Amino acid sequence: MTLVAQTGEALQAIVSQVQEISRHVGAIVTATREQSTGLLEINNAVNAMDQGTQQNAAMVEEQTAASHSLAAEAAKLMELLARFNLGMAAQAGMSTQGGRRAA
Is the pLDDT at 18 greater than 70? The verdict is yes
Residue 94: how many other CB atoms lie within 10 Å: 12
pTM, rounded to two decimals: 0.54
Residue 103 — pLDDT band, cuts 50, 70, 90? very low
Count of residues in the chain: 103
Residues in CB range of 95: below 8 A, 6 or more apart:
101, 102
Is the pLDDT at 99 greater than 80? The verdict is no
| Residue 101 or 6, more confident | 6
d(CA 27, CA 65): 57
Secondary element (H or E) of residue 71: helix 2-82
Domain boundaries, the chain: 7-80
The tens digit of pLDDT for each residue in 36-94 reads 999 999 999 999 999 999 999 999 999 999 999 999 999 999 999 888 876 665 566 65
pLDDT at 29: 98
